[in-house]
Copies of this chain bind each other. A is one copy, B any other.
Amino acid sequence: MYDGIVQELIDEFGRLPGIGPKSAQRIAFHILQTPTFDVARLSELLVEIRVRVRFCEICGNVAEQERCAICRDPRRNAALICVVEDAKDVAAIERTREFRGLYHVLGGAISPIAGIGPDDLRIAQLMTRLADGTVQEVILATNPNLEGEATASYLSRLLTTMQITVSRLASGLPVGGDLEYADEVTLGRAFEGRRVL
């Protein structure tokens, strides 16, 4: 349809997650038509990022050094580890500013359907981190869905033999949400987890 290179750019953008053919076309034309758009910067970043970014050798979070900024920070509480599925979850929790401990990124969740078992996750590395007795509490912050719950219960069983408190993030109504629009499972969880005031 388009002269070669324009179509090629559209195709490349279409390969990115969440970008359909229409969006890819819109982005390609934006790049073509916006004089101020810093194409060179995006182009450089794409190459640089694969060279410069790696994953933290301790927690598995994204890092520009061997250890990520959180693992390097001496002010973080090393007695507390929050276990998450993905590096994106680390960023989401950091934005709350509620948590001052360290993280452990599993790299996914147990999912028999997708063929992901415990051995495909960074669980052995977690056990190694827990071996020296520094950690007092492990917070399981996997997603509140089927795979996340399965992973959390697998880990909690694995940790029962150790002298470590294991906790799970609370499920309930989202703040600012409307009771009427909550699904029954969430509403049920909200009842289960109700707190005396």
Contacts and interface: CB of A to CB of B under 8 A. Distances in A.
A46 B50 contact: no
Contacts of A5: 45, 48-49, 52-53, 64
Interface string A63-91: 11000110000000000000000111001
A49 B6 contact: yes
User: How often does this chain occur in the complex, in copies?
Assistant: 2
A26 to B, nearest CB: 5
B6 A17 contact: no
A18 B1 CA distance: 22
A94 B7 CA distance: 14
A73 to B, nearest CB: 12
Name the interface size band of chain A.
35 or more
A64 B32 CA distance: 12
A63 B30 contact: no
A84 to B, nearest CB: 13
Interface stretch (A8-16, A111-119, A166-174, A177-185): A8-16
Given A1-B94, A6-B62, A46 B53 contact: no
A27 interface: yes
A4 interface: yes
Those 3 A-B pairs whose CB atoms lie nearest each other, nearest first:
A43-B46, A12-B42, A3-B64
16 contacts: A2-B91, A3-B69, A6-B49, A6-B53, A8-B45, A9-B45, A9-B46, A16-B27, A18-B23, A28-B49, A29-B88, A32-B49, A39-B49, A42-B46, A43-B43, A43-B47
